[in-house]
Structure 1
Amino acid sequence: MLYRKLLVALLCWAPFSFAQTPSEPGRERYSMDTNWHFALGHPFNTNQDFSNGTSYFSYLAKAGYGDGAASLTFDDRAWRQLNLPHDWAVELPFDSTAQHSHGYKAIGRNFPTTSVGWYRKAFRVPAEDLGRQLTLEFDGVYRNAQVWVNGHYLGNEHSGYNSFRYDITDYLNYGGRNVVAVRVDATMPEGWYYEGAGIYRHVWLTKTNPVHVAPNGTWVTTQVAGTAADVTARATLLNQGKNAHTCVVRQTILDAQGHVVASKQHGAVALAPLQQREITLTLPVANARRWDLESPYLYTLRTTVLVGNREVDCYDTPFGIRTIRFDAKLGFFLNDKPVKLKGTNNHQDHAGVGTALPDELQYFRIRALKAMGSNAYRCSHHPPTPELLAACDQLGMLVIDENRLMGTNYQMQQDLKGMIVRDRNHPSIISWSIGNEEWGIENSTTGARIATTMQAYAHSLDSTRLCTAGISGGFRSGISDVLEVMGYNYLGNGDIDAHHRQFPNQPGMGTEEGSTFATRGVYVTDPRLHYQAAYDQKPRPSFYSIEEGWRFYAERPYLAGLFIWTGFDYRGEATPYQWPSVTSYFGMMDLCGFPKDNVYYLRSWWSQQPTLHLLPHWNWPARQGQPINVWAYTNCDEVELFLNKKSLGRKAVPLNSHVAWQVNYAPGTLEARGYKNGRKTLTEVVRTTDQAAAIQLTPHKTALQADGEDLAVVTVAVTDRRNLTVPTANEDITFSINGPGRIIGVGNGNPTSREKEKFVETSQMVAIQEVEEAPVASLAAGVAAQAQHQAATWQPAFVQRDYKKLAPAYRHRGTFELPAEVANAQVTLFYNSIGREQHLFINGQEIAKDLKQSPEGNVFRLAPTLLKPGRNTIEIVATPLTKEHDWDVVNTNFGTIQVFIPAAPWQRKTFNGLAQVLVQTTKEPGTITLTATAKGLKMATLKLKTEKAPARPAIL
């Protein structure tokens, strides 16, 4: 998939046979994901927040005055180095006093030392880029992100879900070093579910000619008649230059193989300086291939801009040709065919990585939902990452794209606009959701006014889709009355049929249904252990089971379908429990994507895939002779059940339901035989297993690309001597990896597990304190005095200096505190020059002599024999730095001591026989070897071959 994207990008540079015009540097887009420095800050203690915002002139007072960690010259060498996407919340410990809704991670108002994070990245911009437009783009940062470039404050994005960008053209050092700094404050949550923390989506640097297509500046709509289609291509052109230009715009449609199927151009488009204009062209496409669920065919609109017969921009927009409509009597139609929406709601976190999902994991999750028979996805409750929508486009999944918060003030309209303008070319999107469960306004005239205005505003940006919202406060007057497509959240909250009778011309769908509880692989509810049996049951008296909910919507043609809460478990909202549960129980799949039994019920009635599934497992040694409830999920007509080859009866399968038996337990073999039209078509066998004997490792795919981003989702199974997964095995597994790959996360789907999901190095920064100085006659005299431990008249360093009457040299001393585990750590001094020449001593031992001033600073790895737990000393003898002017600033900071503790070995306990390891490639081809070991079990080794592949263009 990445190769195809790169190929399309490269084609933008290739001249077509009908356009042999010379080109000049046009659009380039680079990943900014690698080589960031990260450290935790503080929401209100400026000393712990790297002194940001404390200068006399700060970044809000004067341009370019970003101070502390926002400064171009700030020394971040001691910070942790990492790549994006990154979620620091998933790395934090659990705490019983933390927020239940956010999975009890130690973040939020009660945890100020772990709720603010700083990111810094240094990068170079070639001198020849001067004259181009450069834009820094963030797909999403959670949350309250402040951004600086070279100390220039660019702005603040309040929401953790909006994409945003800054034009940094005028702030850059062309041909030199540049630094972007981002302060992220996740103290206050937006949602009532786990949201992560940090730059958890991609960051990009886009370079364009001053005359170019505006960001998200194309809009493609289609009109279909038979096998032909008219494609209306709108392009917003932007001239960010200081001179007027006249340009030509060429719109070209490419099929999935890159062949030209239509092309038109618009000439003589005059653009004044800093002006933008929208150009519209309609292109006919004969024999158009439709985008649909089974064949999600994508075209590409290529917008080419020429100035003076030179190509200055090339902008690609993937799109699909399809029709959609909601009908108040007959439901939803795709390409004029009725489609029942079989959807799920989902948050955006996954085991091991939190919200920082690699792109391949997005595809893995959408494929898992499609394998269940799902055809629709509701983004709950915020705009998603662009890669999620790309996966839905490419794999064939319908989408409700959801706005974060209802409102009509300027900021909320801008948020809604940002989502729609960014996403409106995705053929997968069938509706805009303007809100969810806004109980304060749902049943009021205020809510109706807000919804009406938001829908009108949405249509000013996209006239091709209807709006919806999730309503759960009763389907009464208010927002429900005015929605274009009614969104019912839980049929127990009101009388849906009565609402339809009152509003017969209003289409409707179940935007949330279910909220059932299930623990994967558990079949007896145990409140003490926080286990919920995986049999489909009502979660509460006023709610409905998955089966009851689906039957209700399936039996009513006027309802377009439903979206189950949820496809996957997610952190937080561990209903019906509190601590120590940390993960929800709602999912059809657990946090790893391992299926619970409801998956097979849905697959039976949502897909044509032959399905026969038995539950529970058949390991019940303490229940010999006792009745066990056995269910079969199937789309067969009948099922016959056998225990140890003895028939227990043959039963007809009711439509949209299941069959069940009471079976007195005896170890052995439980077998189900499924019949279709009287013929046996399927067999399902569940066996009593032996004791755990070995580990198995199975990747979701075996062919990996060595691009630094591709991923293998590895299932870890504990098996018996017959290679059967032991469904009750909870074994401690340790993992190691060799070759061109890295483990980025582990999980097991246990909603009560508080094990680590990430094993990362610890990088603690230790300040040098109690800094004092004493003048000496010379550098040599100072060194001698230090060696002889001579007493001196010490005073606070750098405070009372008269820079016009400096001493020839100074002795300096300070202290730093090291932790008790310093013997197991790597300790490094990141030194900043405080003199023109200097000698350095740690605990009286010389570590450097005759050291010259260095603008970049020096790095010293400190030997363990030099150090001790607790108080240590540093002494520096130096000839002083001078000032040419009174206002000059000279360095007075010794630097930072870094205490680096390597990551512990990766490990995870299996839960009911299973765990998961996420293995990501590096950019080197070769063989990755993953090894799993456990006491008393046969070890497992998995070899994954990675093939050389083009990586995204990147700023390293």
Structure 2
Amino acid sequence: MKRKLFNENWVFGIGTGTSMDHLFGIGSDIEPKSVTLPHDAMILTERKNSKEGASLGFYKGQNYNYTKEFELSEEDSDKVIWMEFEGVYQDAFVYVNESFVGRCNYGYGNYYLNLTDFVFFGKTNKIIVVVKNEGRSGRWYTGGGIYRDINIMMGNQLYIACEGTKITPTDVEQDLAVINIETPLNHIGAKLVSCTVLHTIYDADGNMITSDKAPITILGNENTTLKQRLYVRKPKMWNTDTPYLYSCKTIVTIGEEIIDEYETRFGIRKIQLDIDHGLRINGETIKLRGGCVHHDNGVVGTATFDRAEYRRVRKLKEAGFNALRSGAHPMSRAMLEACDELGLLVIDEFTDVFNNVKVDFDYGSRFDLFWEIDLMNMVKRDYNHPSVIMYSLGCENPQIANRIDKRLIKKMKDTVQSFDTTRYITNDVNMMLIVIENMAELMANNPLDSKAEVNSTMNNFGEMLNMLSLDPRIDERLEEGVNELDVFGYNYALNRYEHDTEKYPNRILMATECTMLDLEKTWEYTNKYNHVLGDFCWSAWDYLGEAGVGRTDYEEFGELDFYAKWPWRLACSGAIDIIGDRKTISYWREMIWGRRMKPYIAVRDPKHYREKIYKTNWAWISDAHANWTWKDCENKPVTIEVLSPAEEVELFLNGKSVGKKKTGEELTACAIFETLYEPGELKVVDSNGEEFVLRSAVDDTHIAVHVEGEKLKSGGCDVAFLEIGIVDHKGRLNAGAEKLVSIKVEGEGTLQGFGSAHPKSLENYYDVEFTTYRGRLLAVVRSGMNPGEILVTISAENCDTQHVKIEVI
């Protein structure tokens, strides 16, 4: 089918747009406005303090309506019309010409709706999408509205089904790979037809590798699938180091007429899993250096752009990650494509809830009605992506411990394997939820001091989870349901690895979620045991909502108060912050993985020297970051964290030795120094001869801009990233600078988002002014509908104004 984006010329309004809304004036105080998809309506609203607002970052869900008029030619009246919704949050009802067409009921799923019987040819059509997102529907920032692309598809009466061809490489060897291709064909005509299906496989440079065709006769009003086998000699294997991609073009013809065509990319790779070798890709064992990601893109909210997802994946790989888990939701198509291209492995997770509701209006309230459709939609959509090695059925669901409900795991696995038997299946288990009904008894017997001071209690939370993980009731409750899984995914359960190795020697294990500092222990188990596959930290990239769950602070917060109070907005648990800058812990993780030999320096704020640090279990040891520019702190004491895989490090300040220290005395690969702050050069030299230097900025009078995306595609679907820093006259970042920066976007583009990684800024990401945090900001500029030029002007008081030109083609 002919496929094109259907993103432009939508009219957006607040409320459902119903007669009752009009009667009661809901949304009447806000003028409907024209928008181009993708569109996150929630990120464009003011945050407000509320009792339960921390999970959403103090944003609030609303109901929305999107309306669009479009025309179809009379000449196409014999065609079929389908529409794909890649993501609408959360519960969408679709109407065409005042008739109900269908429902997109899962906010992270993709849906195909057949519009053929509802549209007019030769006159104007009207589509309305009503999005029900009022109330609290998620444990993190969900966004709201049509936040991913819509595609409209038109086909003949014989056409390739919407999900396209299914490609399965089998019998993969160095000299030959079998390529099994299944083509789903739908025929709505009354009479039988005879057609030919041609498949052509191309290499990454567009050279034809092989081709074959087959005739098939299809009866009237019949859907069928044609299965063919092609062969690729001396295939180039897809793996994390060389993610080689082939493409397959499928053409359906009747006589000489092309009836339909479809093209997809795929990779050739063999995955194996066993207790002696662990996970193997093309015969080589690979350990998973993993991280969890949510679906938002920071200052642009949840609006999904290809370049934004590609940028995230690239930066994560540069930081040492080789695997991602899409935490509690299916990964976007754009991010999967980036993982295919760049070589990251993916655990594709279905849902956060089963039939148990975690917050009032989440997916659990309708899971029993739609899970089979939604799960199959995910598996069909993601099948051809070589990056996907495993499906996770869900995240931390207590139902798997219920003797009746645990049968659901088997049903879900059977559903997946009815379409895909090539990948492995896991599920994330949180031990606390397995024994949640016994928590009062367990806490009463808790050896950890229930009267301990606050920060100790927060730090002991991980110890509490580890203690609970060995409760004998857990083994009994998990055995039936979890034994259906290929891989056991444990969240915050360090004590289980030795225990399971001894008691369940045939189990394959993985840390599907763990705190940042747990890596040291989980990586020890990963290297020690072949059947322990790796570690997925929470989280790889910081995100909106779950405000302050990974915070460090100098103000005491309440006992087991996991979320921060207003005005916190960010989780603060990422190895990379929301604008794409690596945090201190990301360098430490890279050293624990054995991937970084060079040392690193991070400095704690001297204004809080020796003040007590309060932190959650998902935080780094402090707020230290790479900065040696501290205004008004000359000759004041300062604490310095030196990270290095070497045994010993020596610290120098302006050429004079501060001292030598062994690493690992307080934390592996870390040494803590104290000295008096003086501007200049701070350098570490480790016992392996590697060094790292921080230099003070001498002023804050210049703006530096790095542009990613100097040429954008027209059509409103592309974005450029402008990384903004306050620097001195030598170009050195002034990480202590807090300057109000203004931005102006003119020409064939608009400002999509603008802001910093400050976790509790009161500023809005849609404003044209924002204050730097640690000297940094990020602006995201979106292309317009037409080719042309975008001019971006960036200015700040006492700084040289910068002008950036971006071409739209």
TM score, norm. by length of structure 1: 0.71
Kindly tell me the number of residue pairs found equivalent between the two proteins.
714
User: Is the Cα–Cα contact under 8 Å of residues 653 and 681 in structure 2 kept in the other structure?
Assistant: yes
Residue type matched to 1:919 in 2? V
Match of 2:776 among 890, 910, 914: 914
Q: Which moved more, 1:642-651 or 1:232-241?
A: 642-651
Alignment-derived partner of residue 564 in structure 1: 537
Give secondary structure in 2 for the equivalent of 1:170.
Answer: coil
Relative to structure 1, is the Cα distance of residues 719 and 927 closer, same or farther in structure 2, using a 3 angstrom cutoff?
Answer: same
**Pair 1:501-2:505 in alignment:** no
Alignment-derived partner of residue 14 in structure 2: 40
Alignment-derived partner of residue 793 in structure 2: 931
Alignment-derived partner of residue 282 in structure 1: 229
Q: Which moved more, 1:638-647 or 1:317-326?
A: 638-647
Match of 1:482 among 469, 481, 484: 484
Provide the rounded CA distance (Å) in 2 between the counterparts of 1:290 and 1:653. 40
Alignment-derived partner of residue 553 in structure 1: 526
**Pair 1:582-2:535 in alignment:** no
**Pair 1:438-2:397 in alignment:** yes
**Pair 1:943-2:804 in alignment:** yes
Residue type matched to 2:402 in 1? S
Match of 1:427 among 382, 386, 408: 386
Provide the rounded CA distance (Å) in 1 between the counterparts of 2:63 and 2:368. 28
Provide the rounded CA distance (Å) in 2 between the counterparts of 1:710 and 1:317. 21
**Pair 1:672-2:683 in alignment:** yes
User: Is the Cα–Cα contact under 8 Å of residues 513 and 563 in structure 1 kept in the other structure?
Assistant: yes
The C-alpha deviation readout for 1:527-566, integer Å capped at 9, x for no partner, is: xxxxxxxxxxxxxxxxx44444444434443211111101
The C-alpha deviation readout for 1:815-865, integer Å capped at 9, x for no partner, is: xxxxxxxxxxxxxxxxxxxxxxxxxxxxxxxxxxxxxxxxxxxxxxxxxxx
User: Is the Cα–Cα contact under 8 Å of residues 328 and 558 in structure 1 kept in the other structure?
Assistant: yes
Alignment-derived partner of residue 167 in structure 1: 114
**Pair 1:510-2:520 in alignment:** no
The C-alpha deviation readout for 1:398-422, integer Å capped at 9, x for no partner, is: 1111112446956211111111011
Provide the rounded CA distance (Å) in 1 between the counterparts of 2:668 and 2:374. 42
Give secondary structure in 2 for the equivalent of 1:387.
Answer: helix
Give secondary structure in 1 for the equivalent of 2:769.
Answer: strand
- The alpha carbon displacement at 1:240 in A equals 1.9
Provide the rounded CA distance (Å) in 2 between the counterparts of 1:98 and 1:237. 53
Match of 1:417 among 368, 376, 380: 376
User: Is the Cα–Cα contact under 8 Å of residues 328 and 505 in structure 1 kept in the other structure?
Assistant: yes
Alignment-derived partner of residue 630 in structure 1: 640
Match of 2:734 among 726, 738, 743: 726
Provide the rounded CA distance (Å) in 2 between the counterparts of 1:350 and 1:239. 40
User: Is the Cα–Cα contact under 8 Å of residues 91 and 105 in structure 2 kept in the other structure?
Assistant: yes
- The alpha carbon displacement at 1:753 in A equals 1.2
Aligned ranges 1:64-83 → 2 under 5 Å? 79-83=32-36
User: Is the Cα–Cα contact under 8 Å of residues 720 and 726 in structure 1 kept in the other structure?
Assistant: yes
Q: Which moved more, 1:381-390 or 1:429-438?
A: 381-390
Provide the rounded CA distance (Å) in 1 between the counterparts of 2:21 and 2:209. 61
Q: Return 5+ residue gaps in structure 1 as ranges.
A: 1-26, 53-68, 70-74, 109-114, 517-543, 760-905, 949-956
User: Is the Cα–Cα contact under 8 Å of residues 497 and 525 in structure 2 kept in the other structure?
Assistant: no
Alignment-derived partner of residue 194 in structure 1: 141
User: Is the Cα–Cα contact under 8 Å of residues 116 and 185 in structure 1 kept in the other structure?
Assistant: yes
Relative to structure 1, is the Cα distance of residues 503 and 406 closer, same or farther in structure 2, using a 3 angstrom cutoff?
Answer: farther
Match of 1:231 among 179, 189, 197: 179
Give secondary structure in 1 for the equivalent of 2:298.
Answer: coil
Alignment-derived partner of residue 769 in structure 1: none
Aligned ranges 1:756-771 → 2 under 5 Å? 756-759=764-767
User: Is the Cα–Cα contact under 8 Å of residues 638 and 677 in structure 2 kept in the other structure?
Assistant: no
- The alpha carbon displacement at 1:163 in A equals 0.7
Match of 1:382 among 325, 329, 354: 329
Alignment-derived partner of residue 254 in structure 1: 202
The C-alpha deviation readout for 1:650-700, integer Å capped at 9, x for no partner, is: 556669942313221231344435458x5x3x4322123334323222223
Match of 2:420 among 453, 457, 462: 462
Match of 2:493 among 491, 513, 521: 491
- The alpha carbon displacement at 1:208 in A equals 1.0
The C-alpha deviation readout for 1:850-885, integer Å capped at 9, x for no partner, is: xxxxxxxxxxxxxxxxxxxxxxxxxxxxxxxxxxxx
Give secondary structure in 2 for the equivalent of 1:445.
Answer: coil
Q: Which moved more, 1:658-667 or 1:580-589?
A: 658-667
Relative to structure 1, is the Cα distance of residues 652 and 324 closer, same or farther in structure 2, using a 3 angstrom cutoff?
Answer: farther
Give secondary structure in 1 for the equivalent of 2:583.
Answer: coil
Aligned ranges 1:691-770 → 2 under 5 Å? 691-706=699-714, 708-759=716-767
Relative to structure 1, is the Cα distance of residues 555 and 654 closer, same or farther in structure 2, using a 3 angstrom cutoff?
Answer: farther
Match of 1:88 among 19, 41, 50: 41
Alignment-derived partner of residue 158 in structure 1: 105
Match of 1:294 among 241, 244, 250: 241
Alignment-derived partner of residue 168 in structure 2: 221
User: Is the Cα–Cα contact under 8 Å of residues 41 and 50 in structure 1 kept in the other structure?
Assistant: no
Provide the rounded CA distance (Å) in 2 between the counterparts of 1:670 and 1:481. 57
**Pair 1:598-2:557 in alignment:** no
Q: Return 5+ residue gaps in structure 2 as ranges.
A: 356-366, 432-468, 550-561, 604-626
Residue type matched to 2:400 in 1? E
- The alpha carbon displacement at 1:234 in A equals 1.2
Aligned ranges 1:301-450 → 2 under 5 Å? 301-404=248-351, 405-406=353-354, 409=368, 411-439=370-398, 441-450=399-408
Over the aligned positions, Cα root-mean-square deviation in angstroms equals 2.8
- Structure index of larger Rg: 1
Q: Quick one: percent identity of the two aligned structures?
A: 28
Residue type matched to 2:39 in 1? H
Provide the rounded CA distance (Å) in 2 between the counterparts of 1:412 and 1:103. 24
Aligned ranges 1:498-897 → 2 under 5 Å? 498-514=499-515, 516=516, 544-574=517-547, 575=549, 576=562, 577-606=564-593, 608=595, 611-616=598-603, 617-620=627-630, 627-635=637-645, 639-650=649-660, 657-674=668-685, 680=689, 682-706=690-714, 708-759=716-767
Provide the rounded CA distance (Å) in 1 between the counterparts of 2:101 and 2:680. 66
User: Is the Cα–Cα contact under 8 Å of residues 351 and 748 in structure 1 kept in the other structure?
Assistant: no
The C-alpha deviation readout for 1:216-243, integer Å capped at 9, x for no partner, is: 1422111202231011111111112232
